[in-house]
């Protein structure tokens, strides 16, 4: 017997949504009031990867205004495709400049609030969509309540809506994807749209490139009729997006490609050095750099030529794969260590990132500060609570084995994300996994709720 009626649960969720929206909005306002400023030639919020997104957005905006055409505009696609386009479209619609001085990379102050509000409202609309889908998927209304309540209030997730990182839109897309996947009676047209949407997921964050295979397997095992045609339609929709992306890249560079340069050189520039450091063979790093310089000379490398940079990326990717395969045990050791760091929840990561970008904190990185040591204890405590509830949820599900195909889909999506992103060791890249794990977390909260009322 449920504790609350459906009407009462609905009212509670409305209140939770309002609280979540208010928390997210206040945090966004706080960030803009405190960190929307330049110190020298560097902006406190638009920095690192976000700075590159801003440059791509400004370039795309100028070109699209001049040519009135979408394809072939902007600078080369090197990291993620969609975020810069969203920023550019926002700038055009609201008539807000992105730069005070583009040549000197001076970011325009103010005019960013409505973009963050858009991220917040979009997230909660996606959450409302998922809630309505779950009502037809699960029989237990309390379970649905706990899943949605967690997603609506967890600060580990909400912090990203008040920043310009790619996470906010991506996790909103994940929530939409869950809701679309559990839809009953999927038509062929719907599956085509699902494939198109999976393409958008990839455009927002490249790690989404292989989501389609997990979704296709789920369709194969869960659909009773025409599952083969439905899978074909999903791949067709996905292929349309990739073809359009490749065509846009071809128009800009003369090369038809879909994976950005960042994915080609990531392991080479980050993981290989760690492998050689662990082996205590620092001379191999010098040899690696020497072989790269020799390749550049042999192939007439030019930093100003995209084809040269693209070929260098291929060289680095092949070299990295070879080194990793020759050092499997060490690579696994590094992976496991980084995954532990990766999986520690970090609910104030964006705040401290902004804070330690300020001039007053230059000269020391946050993880080396005294504040970091105190915060570390909080992170561990927060993570322990999360994982205790999560594992209880997994075990309670295993007992029932209800909707096994869907829960296996969630489980393997998390494994995939951890494998693809865990080697970096950054808590930021664990956020997509937390979104999927909310399903099991909801099971855990529901189990404790039932246990509490059995004893009373």
Average pLDDT, the chain: 92
Residues 267 and 248 in one domain: no
Q: How confident is the model at residue 251 (pLDDT cuts 50, 70, 90)?
A: very high
Residue 101 lies in a domain: yes
Instruction: Give the pLDDT mean for 331-349.
Output: 95
Residue 164 lies in a domain: no
Q: Is there a contact between 138 and 183 (Cβ–Cβ < 8 Å)?
A: no
Q: What pLDDT is attached to residue 4?
A: 46
Are residues 246 and 271 both part of a single domain? no
Q: Are residues 190 and 221 in the same domain?
A: yes
Please tell me whether residues 253 and 268 are part of one structural domain: no
Same domain (yes/no): 230, 275? no
State yes or no: pLDDT of 5 exceeds 80: no
Do 277 and 234 belong to one domain?
Answer: no
- Please give the pLDDT value at position 69: 83
Q: How far apart are CA 238 and CA 193, in angstroms?
A: 9
Query: Could you report the per-residue pLDDT of 404-452, keeping only the tens digit for each?
Result: 999 999 999 999 999 999 999 999 999 999 999 999 999 999 999 888 7
- pLDDT tens readout for residues 105-147: 899 999 999 999 999 999 999 999 999 999 999 999 999 999 9
Q: Are residues 248 and 209 in the same domain?
A: yes
The model's confidence at residue 363, banded by pLDDT at 50, 70 and 90, is low
Instruction: List, in sequence order, every residue forming a beta bridge with 107; answer none if it has no partner.
Output: 99
User: How many domains does the chain divide into?
Assistant: 3
Query: In the predicted model, is pLDDT for residue 269 greater than 90?
Result: no
Residue 334, in any domain of the structure:
no
End residue of a domain, out of 258, 279, 310: 258
Q: Measuring CA to CA, which residue among 152, 176, 155 is closest to residue 18? A: 152
Same domain (yes/no): 251, 270: no
Check pLDDT > 90 for residue 279: no
Percent of the chain at pLDDT exceeding 70: 96
Tell which of 211, 235, 258 closes a domain.
258
The CA dihedral of 262, 331, 414, 13, to the nearest 10 degrees, is -80
Based on the domain organization, do 54 and 72 belong to the same domain? yes
Arithmetic mean of pLDDT, 213-220: 97
- The answer to whether residue 269 sits within a structural domain is yes
250 and 265 inside one domain: no
pLDDT at 367 over 90: no
Domain end call among 111, 134, 154: 111
Specify if 400 maps to a domain.
no
292 is a domain residue: yes
Whether 160 is covered by a domain: the verdict is no
β partners of residue 101:
106
pLDDT level of residue 2 (50, 70, 90 thresholds): very low
Which domain, by its residues, includes 75?
Answer: 37-111
Would residue 388 count as lying in a domain?
A: no
pLDDT band at residue 324 under the 50/70/90 scheme: very high
Residue 254 shares a structural domain with residue 213: yes
């Amino acid at each position: 017997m449920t504790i609350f009626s459906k009407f009462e649960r609905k009212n509670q969720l409305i209140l939770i949504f309002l609280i979540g929206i208010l928390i997210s909005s206040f945090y966004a306002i706080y960030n803009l009031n405190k960190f929307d400023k330049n110190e020298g030639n560097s902006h406190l919020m638009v920095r690192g990867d976000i700075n590159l997104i801003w440059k791509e957005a400004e370039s795309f905006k100028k070109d699209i205004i001049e040519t009135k055409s979408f394809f072939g505009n902007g600078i080369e696609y090197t990291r993620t495709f969609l975020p810069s386009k969203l920023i550019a479209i926002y700038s055009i619609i609201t008539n807000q400049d992105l730069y005070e001085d583009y040549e000197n990379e001076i970011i325009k102050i103010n005019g960013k609030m409505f973009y963050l509000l858009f991220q917040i409202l979009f997230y909660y609309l996606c959450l409302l969509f998922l809630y309505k889908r779950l009502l037809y998927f699960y029989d237990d209304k309390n379970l649905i309540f706990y899943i949605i309540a967690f997603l609506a209030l967890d600060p580990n997730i909400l912090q990203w809506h008040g920043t310009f990182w790619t996470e906010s839109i991506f996790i909103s897309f994940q929530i939409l994807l869950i809701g679309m996947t559990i839809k009953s009676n999927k038509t062929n047209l719907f599956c085509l749209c699902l494939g198109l949407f999976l393409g958008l997921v990839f455009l927002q964050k490249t790690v989404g490139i292989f989501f389609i295979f997990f979704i296709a397997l789920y369709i194969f095992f869960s659909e009773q009729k025409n599952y083969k045609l439905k899978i074909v339609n999903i791949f067709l929709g996905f292929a349309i997006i990739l073809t359009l992306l490749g065509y846009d890249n071809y128009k800009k560079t003369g090369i038809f490609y879909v994976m950005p340069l960042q994915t080609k050189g990531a392991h080479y520039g980050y993981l290989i050095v760690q492998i050689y450091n662990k082996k205590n063979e620092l001379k191999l790093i010098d040899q690696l750099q020497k072989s790269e310089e020799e390749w550049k000379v042999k192939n007439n490398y030019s930093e100003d030529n995209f084809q040269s940079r693209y070929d260098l990326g291929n060289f680095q990717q092949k070299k990295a794969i070879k080194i990793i395969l020759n050092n499997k045990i060490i690579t696994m050791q590094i992976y496991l260590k980084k995954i532990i760091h990766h999986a520690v929840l970090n609910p104030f990561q964006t705040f401290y990132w902004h804070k330690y970008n300020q001039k007053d904190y230059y000269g020391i990185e946050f993880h080396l500060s005294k504040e970091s040591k105190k915060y570390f204890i909080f992170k561990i405590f927060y993570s322990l609570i999360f994982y205790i509830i999560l594992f209880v949820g997994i075990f309670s599900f295993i007992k029932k084995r209800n909707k096994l195909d869907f829960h296996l889909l969630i489980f393997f999506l998390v494994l995939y994300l951890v494998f693809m992103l865990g080697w970096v060791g950054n808590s930021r890249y664990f956020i997509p996994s937390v979104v999927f794990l909310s399903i099991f977390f909801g099971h855990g909260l529901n189990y404790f709720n039932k246990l509490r009322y059995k004893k009373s």
